[in-house]
Amino acid sequence: MWQRIRSLKSSIKPTPGNVSIIPQRMNFDFKGLSKHWFDNEPVQTHLLNALSLTFPDGERFFVDSVRTFRHLAQSKAQQKEISGFIGQEAMHSLEHDTFNKMLAAMGYQQEAEGGQALAQRFIAGGHKHLSDVEQLATTAALEHITAIMAQWLLSKHNVIDKIDPSVRQLWLWHAIEETEHKAVAFDLLQQVTDGDYLMRVKVMAPATWFLLVYTFAYTAAFLRKDGLHNKPLTLANGIWQLAKPGGLFASVIPAWFRYFKPGFHPWDDDDSHLIEQWRASLDQAMADAQTAAA
């Protein structure tokens, strides 16, 4: 039976022709960052703040796990995509590090330091207890989660418009690039394991569990700092915003299950049109910011 499960292979699909994976340093400064920068709503803001605390070290984990196997790339094009992936994730680490320092400077120093320290402990545990292939499988699984969160951000529900302009370009840029490189770790894993289904899916539930525990703990820590942890109406409204149709949970939970489909591939859902649309918007916003600064 295990042999049958293992052979539920996913095929490797090429990245759509209109997508290129090119790293970009943005040097955001987040001047004038407002306290509840997501829709002026604390629960969603702090959930995304908590996630941001995981990014600098989490994305280094992704890079390391892919780098271990990059020599197995089967073509120049794949080698180039892996280099693009590594460069993009390295840039995300740097920009989110700046964002996290800004959170600390806004009065959340204890939360920022504690959150990053806990993320580092989880990641050290991953390095210690998982084999190299399991680490790559964990990266592929978490890349599915970042890709479906990115899809929510870029989707038609006007999510980007709810983000304060001081930080909007960070999340837009990150979401675009997560979409661009969403299949790089996945394809490398398929090659390394010869499409082993079990290896691909067995890490998804534990990886998601750690991410959820972490995110809820640090969302709660940020809310406690604001004195909002015991305000039932504020909490209920935030939870409703996440759970309602078009909210983060309502969007990502069904998409999360797609990963378990035999033969799944990240580009089965070709959302490359979102990249084209939002790249143009990001480029325009960056050009406007440069003109304003000149």
- Window 256-275: residues binding Fe ion (CB under 5 A): none
* Separation between Cα atoms, residue 140 and residue 134, nearest integer Å: 10
* Location of structure tokens 């996290």: 100
**CB closer to Fe ion out of 184 and 223:** 184
* Separation between Cα atoms, residue 193 and residue 240, nearest integer Å: 41
The distance of closest approach from Cβ of residue 154 to Fe ion in the complex, given in angstroms and rounded to an integer, is: 14
**CB closer to Fe ion out of 63 and 112:** 63
* Separation between Cα atoms, residue 221 and residue 217, nearest integer Å: 6
Maximum distance among all Cα pairs of the chain, rounded to whole angstroms? 66
Question: Would you state the torsion angle of the CA atoms of residues 74, 77, 79, 82, taken in this order, to the nearest 10 degrees?
Answer: -120
**CB closer to Fe ion out of 89 and 111:** 89
- Window 143-202: residues binding Fe ion (CB under 5 A): 178
| Residue with nearest beta carbon to Fe ion | 92
Stretch of residues binding Fe ion (CB under 5 A), selected from 85-93, 161-169, 264-272, 278-286:
85-93
Phi/psi at 38 (nearest 5 deg)? -100, 105
**CB closer to Fe ion out of 24 and 34:** 24
The distance of closest approach from Cβ of residue 143 to Fe ion in the complex, given in angstroms and rounded to an integer, is: 5
Stretch of residues binding Fe ion (CB under 5 A), selected from 63-71, 92-100, 151-159, 165-173:
92-100
Of the candidates 10, 44, 46, 92, which one interacts with Fe ion according to CB under 5 A?
92
* Separation between Cα atoms, residue 152 and residue 131, nearest integer Å: 32
The distance of closest approach from Cβ of residue 271 to Fe ion in the complex, given in angstroms and rounded to an integer, is: 15
The distance of closest approach from Cβ of residue 230 to Fe ion in the complex, given in angstroms and rounded to an integer, is: 34
Instruction: Give exposure, 206-229, as e/b (b: 16+ Cβ within 10 Å).
Output: ebbebbeebbeebbbbbbeebebe
Stretch of residues binding Fe ion (CB under 5 A), selected from 87-95, 114-122, 216-224, 268-276:
87-95
- Window 23-62: residues binding Fe ion (CB under 5 A): 59
What angle separates helix 132-154 from helix 184-193, to the nearest 10 degrees? 150
C-alpha distance across the termini of the chain, in Å: 66
**CB closer to Fe ion out of 46 and 92:** 92
Task: List interacting residues with Fe ion (CB under 5 A).
Answer: 59, 89, 92, 178
